[in-house]
Chains A and B, each alone.
Chain A
Amino acid sequence: MPFLAVVSMLAVGGVVGLLLFNTSMQQASFAATDLQQQADLLQAREQSLQMRLNQLRDPQSIALKAQRMGMVLPTSPAVLDLRSGKVLGHPAPANRLDLLHLLPPPPPKPPAYDVQAGGSTAGTTTTGTSDGTTNETAGNASGDTAHGSPGRADGTGTKGHTRHKHAGHDGHTTHQQPSGR
């Protein structure tokens, strides 16, 4: 009976097809969940790499690295005119006075330390000298923390350390220099 055969084949084929279709849909759903998770993960990774890039591009960290290599931002700009080959402005090498303190000063010491260091009541009467000394130590200390330890990490320890110590002193001198208006 060909009719019966055709009908039953259709029925069986339909059922099996539907089953397969359903299975493949399920499979696709699993795959979609997996891929979505993977996509989320990759996106998160991309974002954290972007974050890292932004941190590396932070002008502060670039400047810290550059200063560790001994670079100083010059304060005397000069321009080379490519058409005439002339140098405009006053090119001058950067000096220690140009050194920028990149790191904030260390937090103030608790007053107890000052008493031990000798900053007693006598110090307050002679305001000028007392203030000057405090300032000098502060400037020196900030120079040390700013550049000493990274220099050591680089392996050029002693040299970098001493040079920056000088820089700290000089930087401080600039603060004292201006006294008129």
Chain B
Amino acid sequence: MPTTTPRGRSGRPPAPRNRRPARAGRGRRRRSRRGQAQLRLRAGFVFIALVLSFFGARLVQLQGVQAAKYATLAASTGGTVTVALPAERGDILDRNGRPLADSVDGRMVVADPVQTRAKAPALARFLSKRLHIDYFATLSALTRKDSRFAYVARRVPAALAVRVVDAATSAGYKGLATRNDPLRSYPDHDVAANLVGFMGTDGPLAGLELTFNKMLAGTDGSETYEVGAGDNRIPLGRSTVVPAHNGTALHTTIDEDLQWYTQRVLRQAVLGARADSGFAIVMDRRSGEILSLADYPTYDASNPQASPAKDRNSLAMTSPYEPGSVEKVLTLSGLIDAGKVTDRTKLLVPGELPSGDRIIHDWFAHGTLKMTLAGVIAQSSNIGTAKASRLYAPGQLRHYLTEFGLGQRTDIGVNGETPGLLPSTAQWDGMLQDRIAFGQSVSVNGVQLAAAVNTIANGGVRVAPSLIQGRATTGTGQVVGTDETTRHRVVSKNAAHQMTQMMERVVDPDVGVAPQAQVPGYVVAGKTGTAQRVGAKCACYNGEYTVSFAGFAPADNPRFTVYVVVQNPRNGGGGGSVGGPAFSKIMSFALRRYGVAPDGEKPSHLPTTW
């Protein structure tokens, strides 16, 4: 209005009509370009409503009328995908961290027989050559009639499976695919197989794999996310992740190389004696750690089906047996500890000793002998031991044997361990005690007795044996391992020392029964065992024997305790001739491997006769 105001002031009042035409003139010019505002608004709304009604109609069409069709279409082209995130199973390691059981990313190769049937023979040849599988089994899988799914190979290392399937696809074969299939590998095959156990298709079937499954398995996770065409993940799409918790590795105290050597020597000993079975144990004297626990017969953990089921567990731990003369070490060291005898005690050993309604014999016929207690051990005299053990107060021997760990599980973490059989106080009488004194009528498992002999090596203090480093929880909730090791004194240091000196006489070529157990350059203390064995069929002594040798070296400061047991040798051998050489080999390997230098000690010359 600035232009009109001066005009109004100059004289005439401003004429409304005058202004209107001017406005109208301008408005007319605008209308010619955009039309009137009301009209424009209305047109705009109509347009928007029109578009929206199209959207609405389409929405009703999609969501209401054809909803099912589009849902199936969406599901078939992608949608959300749930992927299992498998937890990696923990390795089972030896004491140096080398794997005894190892988890590997594996795949199964599967086929759609409808697609593979046409070229089945050629494809079967292709696959059997590359995957090292049976041609005929592959062929029948590829030509299955009743299914669109067939396993071609399971638990194949992922790299190999993917490579082979890719090669097959590019060679023009259709219908092959791979899927996740975790693979457990046992790189050492039979080494420690009886302890480690193995995995079946769905889970662990034996050994440490089974005992510590909870800890080894971990927890599987999963991931759900949206995918578009070509299985590509839609960015910023919905996704949820439940992370997998990998299993924890199990550290054993086993020494892989020593375990291997022990198994080979044991096999040679068992086969050489034409025996049924056997086991050998190497134990670290100070810590009670089991460096090696070998069983024969054994099996290949990467192919367990090839061996009968009875060969797959640890006989050393699960099968009780009567230890025989090795047990004299426990009887007589307890007797020394009780102050009843010393290593030089003079004994008159008759040719036979009546015990109740039976008569005890020695393994060699003799008249009345003048033996010292050392001689009784060196010559392994049953009569001498039984006679000496009659000096025990009632219940005393059983107390000592319990302290040595007999009759109780060692709880090192092996499934199905037998506690052995130590007769109860009610059953205990003089006849029984005479027999128990030299190791009959009492049964043990291998580790029990190895730990008992180790008590002598360790100056009279029993160290609980262990197979697991640190600690681990078994399936039954028991915590085992070196962290749980207990120690307690069983016999005095002096008694253990006297027993060690007596055991040194056992390997003496002149007075002992097992010179083959010597280790050149070292002083060995040991004891043979030749026990009558209870047969598998009749519950009686059937003429079979259990022969064994237990010992430790270097005798004045032992480093290892080694125990070798051979069941039912058919070559007429005893503990010294069958167990002795195996003991010597295993001990010398262990001493060399752990760099234990000979200290120039001389073996004991305790008198054995008087």
Contacts and interface: CB of A to CB of B under 8 A. Distances in A.
Given A29-B233, A32-B233, A77-B519, A178 B573 contact: yes
A179 B578 CA distance: 9
Most buried by B among A28, A32, A75: A75
* Residue among A48, A55, A131, A181 with the highest chain B CB neighbour number at 10 A: A181
A90 B597 CA distance: 11
Interface string B561-574: 00000000011111
A51 B580 contact: no
Contact of B261 (A55, A59, A135): A59
Contacts, number: 154
Interface stretch (B71-79, B97-105, B126-134): B97-105
A180 B99 CA distance: 42
B520 A90 contact: yes
Contacts of B144: none
Given A44-B162, A76-B520, A181 B274 contact: no
Contacts of B592: 74, 77
B595 A54 contact: no
A147 to B, nearest CB: 14
A92 B158 CA distance: 49
Given A55-B187, A58-B188, A175-B571, A89 B522 contact: yes
A60 B598 contact: no
Contacts of B597: 79, 81, 88-89
A178 B571 CA distance: 9
Contacts of A174: 272, 581
A102 B264 contact: yes
A171 B272 CA distance: 9
A100 B268 CA distance: 8
Interface string B518-533: 0111100000101000
B577 interface: yes
A4 to B, nearest CB: 14
B466 to A, nearest CB: 23
Interface stretch (B412-420, B535-543, B583-591): B583-591
A105 interface: yes
A175 B578 CA distance: 9
B154 interface: no
Contact of B577 (A131, A135, A178): A178
A88 B521 contact: yes
Contacts of B530: 181
B276 interface: no
Contact of B580 (A101, A105, A176, A178): A178
B265 interface: yes
Contacts of B574: 180-181
A78 interface: yes
Contact of B187 (A57, A74, A76, A100): A57
B264 A48 contact: no
Contacts of A29: 232-235
Interface in A95-137: 100-102, 104-105, 131, 135
A179 B581 CA distance: 12
B104 A60 contact: no
A57 B514 CA distance: 36
Given A81-B597, A90-B521, A44 B272 contact: no
Contact of B573 (A89, A105, A135, A179): A179
Contact of A105 (B256, B271, B600): B271
B261 to A, nearest CB: 7
B234 to A, nearest CB: 7
A54 B520 contact: no
Interface in A1-55: 25-26, 28-30, 32-33, 40-41, 43-45, 47-48, 50-51, 54-55
A73 interface: yes
Interface string B173-206: 0000000000001011101000000000000000
B522 A104 contact: no
Nearest to A180: B577
Interface in B107-162: 157-160, 162
A79 B598 contact: yes
A60 B191 contact: yes
B235 A181 contact: no
B610 interface: no
Contacts of A25: 235-236
Q: Which of B105, B260, B272, B573 neighbours the largest number of chain A CB atoms within 10 Å of its CB? A: B272
A104 B267 contact: yes
Query: Chain A: interface secondary structure?
Result: helix
A69 B234 CA distance: 60
Contacts of B589: 73, 75, 77
B516 interface: yes
Contact of A181 (B159, B231, B513, B581): B513
A33 B233 contact: yes
A30 B232 contact: yes
B576 interface: yes
A48 B236 contact: no
A9 B257 CA distance: 76
Interface string B590-610: 011001011110000000000
Nearest to B298: A104
Interface string B414-439: 00000000000000000000000000
A75 B575 contact: no
B47 interface: no
Contacts of A73: 261, 589
B521 A51 contact: no
Given A88-B597, A89-B521, A181-B530, A28 B235 contact: yes
A77 B233 contact: no
Nearest to B515: A180
Contacts of B581: 174, 178
Tell me which of B189, B576, B597 has the highest count of chain A C-beta atoms within 10 A of its own C-beta.
Answer: B597
A83 B235 CA distance: 69
Contacts of B55: none
Nearest to A128: B572
B332 interface: no
Given A29-B233, A33-B231, A54-B188, 16 more contacts: A29-B232, A41-B159, A44-B159, A48-B159, A59-B261, A60-B189, A77-B519, A77-B591, A88-B597, A88-B600, A92-B520, A102-B264, A131-B570, A179-B577, A181-B528, A181-B577
19 contacts: A29-B235, A48-B157, A51-B104, A51-B185, A54-B185, A60-B260, A63-B260, A75-B589, A76-B588, A77-B519, A77-B591, A78-B521, A90-B520, A105-B271, A174-B272, A179-B572, A179-B573, A179-B577, A181-B574
Interface of B: 98-99, 102, 104-105, 157-160, 162, 185, 187-189, 191, 231-236, 256-257, 260-261, 264-265, 267-268, 271-274, 363, 380, 513-514, 516, 519-522, 528, 530, 570-578, 580-581, 584-585, 588-589, 591-592, 595, 597-600
Listed from nearest, the 6 A-B pairs whose CB atoms lie closest are: A178-B577, A89-B521, A181-B574, A54-B187, A44-B158, A175-B272
